[in-house]
Structures are given as C-alpha cells and as structure tokens.
Structure 1
Amino acid sequence: MSVMILLTTACLALWESMGKHLQYSKFWNMGSNKSHQILLSSRTGMLFLYTPAFLAGLASFWIFQDGGTRFMMLKFAVTFHFLKRDLEVLFLHKFSGFMVLDSVIIISVSYFTAAASMIYLQHLTLGFREPLVDLKYLGLLLFLVGICGNFYHHYLLSKLREKNEKGYKIPRGGLFSMVICPHYLFEIIVFLGISLISQTPFSYSTALGVALYLVTRSYATRKWYLSKFENFPKNVKALVPYVF
C-alpha cells in the first residue's frame, strides 16, 4: 500500500509537470474532447472529493473504538481535516467553474484510499512497540499549524471576489505576497503532521506523495498566473518563499 500510494501520486505529479492537469479550479477546461466530458459544478465536485474520506474517518471512531492516544489522534486529524474541507466548500469558497467527472473520481478515490488505509494500517500496528522517537505531539502541532494556515489563506481567496463576480484576481495578503500557493504549502504541513502522528511507512508515503503532487500543481498555477496577468509580480514564488 505504501508503494502504491507513492507511485500513484508520483504519476499524478508527473502528469501535472507535463501539462496534463487534473481538471479542477483554474484548469477545469484545459483538456481535449470537451464535448465527451461529464461536468459537475465545482461545489458539487469538491464535496465528492472530500466527503468519502471524511466518512471513512468518522466511521473509524465506531469501527475501532480502542487503540490508545496515537490512534485517537490520527483518527481525529484525518476526520477533522476532511470535515474542514467540506465545511469550506459549503460555507466559504466561491466557485466560478466546473470539474470534470474523471478528475473528481481520481482525486476522491485517492483521498478515500489514503484516509481509510492510514487508519486501518495504524490499527494493524496496535500491540507493536512504539517508535524509539515519539513524534506524535510534534505531528499534532504541525497539523494544527497547517490547518490554521490553510484555512486562513482559503479565507483570503474567498474574499477576492465580490458577490456574483466570476473572474480571477491576483491574491493578496498573508503569504500570497511571497508565494502564489501558500494554501498548498500548509496542506503539505497538514499531511506532514499526520504522518508524524502516525509514524508508519504508509503515512510517510502519503505525505511525500501529497507534497510531490502539490509542488508540481503550484508550479503550474504560477505559470498560469504569469500567462494571464501582465502585472503578476515576478518575485512571487510558487510554493516555498524565496526558494521555489
């Protein structure tokens, strides 16, 4: 499972780097054969992305009722992360486009597989010796930093448009003055935190895979802004301030 999740996300990252984007957000209409594509509204598509993973996390509290502090922290982190994303879709984000059903299925299955497998494989470790270096509290701290930073920058994005406004603007505020995708940066920190809470090979592979994909997605996003806005500041990086 660790190899599978890493290979899958690495392939998605490679496709992004080649310009074969998963079709959501700014890239929903970048593919060919549009007449044969099934489109969902962005709000509906985003709910399909996160809800199965959230339900997997929620069900784990009933299916696996014991397991100690680490297991409880992992179930909480996974469930809360995807609940937050659903709540943002319902009450925060402003959408202007569509999502292609094929991309919705790929992302939704990936998230669900990662969430369910991370929890189940953690269950399989119960009874084994704890790691020599306990990183779960550091992981919880990183998770909370990532959640807060991700939400804050999603909030800033939601305030860019007035009511009924559809166009894109250059984001302002927070770390947007330094990188175009700070919400991706904090998403990586979220999964890094989850991996340190869990401390299993699968959780590390998941965090690495998410990072690989979001690195390439952020690079493509910066290229998109450069192509659409002549006044886009060239000093703004893609993901990591001053570096990338």
Structure 2
Amino acid sequence: MEPAERFQLDVLAYLQCAMGLLGSLALVLADSVYGRYTSPGPDLRVPARAAWALQELPSLAVPLWVCARTAAERLRRAPNRILLAMFLVHYAQRSLIFPFLIRGGKPVPLLTFVLASMFCVYNGYLQSRYLSQHAVYADDWVTDPRFLVGFCLWLIGMLVNIHSDHILRNLRKPGETGYKIPRGGLFEYVTAANYFGEVVEWCGYGLASWSIQGWAFAFFTFCILLTRAQQHHQWYLEKFEDYPKLRKIIIPFLF
C-alpha cells in the first residue's frame, strides 16, 4: 500500500506543476477578478476578511487532521517535524492573523474563493501526507547545507512577505481613499515585494524538503505570483506617470 500511495503523491505533485502552468495561462487570458481588478456586478462575493481566513484555513486544518487520524510515523523524526512546522507556521499567520489586519479590502468573488479553498485543501493534504507518512530523512538532515540554506530562505521570505504586507496596509492614512505607490523595503526594487517574499519562502521550503512535493508547491507559487506581479506592474505603470521605471516586476535586479 505504501509504494502505491507514494506514487499517488508523486502524481499529485506533478499535477500541481501542471496546475501552476495552466493557472498562470488562465490569468493571462482571462480578466482578473480579484482586488483592484474586480468590476462591480451582482455576482456573489465573500467579505475580504472572511474570504482570506476561510480559504487559507484548510492549509492549516487539513494537515492537523491528516496527522491526527493516522500514526504519522515519520513525524517522530526531527526533519519531518520541522518541515511540517514551517508549512503550518506560514498558514497559521495567513489564516489566523493576516485576515484580521486587513483594512477594508474588496470582497472576493465566490468562484475565486472556492478555487483558492480547493487548492489549499489539495496542497495541505499533499504536503502533510508526504511529510507525515513517506518522507525519509537521515537524522543529520537538519545540518545538511540544503536544509540550512532552505530554512534560512524560508524564514527570510516569510519576514519579507509580512513586512511588505505591512507596508501595503499602511499606504493610506485614516480617511484616505484611492491607490498609492508603495514605498520602502523591497518595494524600492520590485513592484510585488510581498509576492517576492512568498516565492523565496516556498523555494526555501522546497530546498529544505528536497522533495518533488516541496518543489511542486514552490513552482506553482512562482507561476501564479509571477503572472499576478506582471499584472500589478503594468497597472502601476499605466495609472501613475511617476511610477519608478527602474523597478523590476518581482525579482530584484532581474525582472
């Protein structure tokens, strides 16, 4: 049974890579339906805070459920516990803290909310099932350069993501409306500093886990967030004549 399930988890990881490519293509071809791009209409929408909390929550709840209902033999090993903790810490922040820091925020179309929730269920199961039941690491994996560099990238990426979100939340003073050019932090170098942080975070996780499952998630994140960053970059260039022309899209000094 174990080899069969391990094969299934590998298939799910490769499918996640395909989902990343198709999702990126869909974002390019279809009109964006989130945030500043949402057009007024009668379609069903979910309040911003509720949408973020509920759509991200499966990435926290599903792994806890997976580990509670099985023996989770592999979690007796320190590398497995740390890697799963890295995943859970991110989603604890995204589902239990970030939504309640949102100031205003446009309602999320129901379809976008449902698709995001489904992905979080999918990925939460994939990562937690692999780490709790199938991932085999030597006890000294936590001293391997791949793990150490990956963990540092994960931590730096998460801090950049949180700091960049803080800058975006505080662009407007109380009572102000409209959009402003983000200033400070990595926004001095890229349009999507928050996305850059998340890409670095999950690439670090992929490196530390050294698994198809970890790298598939990093690849999916890069595909989706690169496309969104390109849309944001073009929007700022069109809306603000004084938008810094030297800013890159998502990777400092590259693109």
Q: TM-score w.r.t. structure 1 length?
A: 0.88
| Mapping 1:26-41, distance limit 5 Å | 26-29=36-39, 34-35=41-42, 37-41=43-47
Question: Which residue in 2 is equivalent to 1:239?
Answer: 250
Question: Which residue in 1 is equivalent to 2:6?
Answer: none
- Decide whether aligned partners of structure 1 residues 147 and 234 sit closer, same or farther in structure 2, where only a CA change above 3 A counts: same
Give a deviation string over 1:154-186, Cα, whole Å, max 9, x none.
111111122343421111111111111011001
Question: Which residue in 1 is equivalent to 2:49?
Answer: 43
The answer to whether 1:99 aligns with 2:86 is no
Aligned identity (percent) is 22
Question: Which residue in 2 is equivalent to 1:192?
Answer: 203
Shift of 1:88: 1.4
The answer on whether the counterparts of 2:53 and 2:99 sit within 8 Å (CA) in structure 1 is: yes
Question: Which residue in 2 is equivalent to 1:81?
Answer: 90
Task: Supply the distance in 2 between the matched residues of 1:128 and 1:159 (Cα, whole angstroms).
Answer: 43
What letter matches 2:191 in structure 1?
A: I
Give a deviation string over 1:27-75, Cα, whole Å, max 9, x none.
2228xxx33x211121121112211112123445534373311210122
The answer on whether the counterparts of 1:176 and 1:182 sit within 8 Å (CA) in structure 2 is: yes
Residue segments in structure 2 that go unaligned for 5+ positions in a row: 1-11
Question: Which residue in 1 is equivalent to 2:7?
Answer: none
Structure 1 counterpart SS, 2:108: strand
Structure 1 counterpart SS, 2:228: helix
| Mapping 1:1-244, distance limit 5 Å | 1-21=12-32, 23-29=33-39, 34-35=41-42, 37-60=43-66, 62-63=68-69, 64=72, 66-86=75-95, 87-90=97-100, 92-126=101-135, 135-244=146-255
Shift of 1:26: 1.9
Structure (1 or 2) with the greater helix fraction: 2
Shift of 1:126: 4.3
Structure 1 counterpart SS, 2:57: helix
What letter matches 1:119 in structure 2?
A: S
- Decide whether aligned partners of structure 1 residues 60 and 143 sit closer, same or farther in structure 2, where only a CA change above 3 A counts: farther
Shift of 1:203: 1.4
Residue segments in structure 1 that go unaligned for 5+ positions in a row: none
The answer on whether the counterparts of 1:185 and 1:240 sit within 8 Å (CA) in structure 2 is: yes
Task: Supply the distance in 2 between the matched residues of 1:154 and 1:129 (Cα, whole angstroms).
Answer: 37
The answer on whether the counterparts of 2:229 and 2:250 sit within 8 Å (CA) in structure 1 is: yes
- Decide whether aligned partners of structure 1 residues 128 and 187 sit closer, same or farther in structure 2, where only a CA change above 3 A counts: closer
Shift of 1:129: 6.9
What letter matches 1:99 in structure 2?
A: V
The answer on whether the counterparts of 2:67 and 2:128 sit within 8 Å (CA) in structure 1 is: no
Task: Supply the distance in 2 between the matched residues of 1:126 and 1:202 (Cα, whole angstroms).
Answer: 10
Structure 2 counterpart SS, 1:135: helix
- Decide whether aligned partners of structure 1 residues 188 and 114 sit closer, same or farther in structure 2, where only a CA change above 3 A counts: same
Task: Supply the distance in 2 between the matched residues of 1:180 and 1:126 (Cα, whole angstroms).
Answer: 37
The answer on whether the counterparts of 1:143 and 1:193 sit within 8 Å (CA) in structure 2 is: yes
Structure 1 range deviating more: 101-110 or 58-67: 58-67
Question: Which residue in 1 is equivalent to 2:5?
Answer: none
- Decide whether aligned partners of structure 1 residues 137 and 115 sit closer, same or farther in structure 2, where only a CA change above 3 A counts: farther
Structure 1 range deviating more: 92-101 or 209-218: 92-101
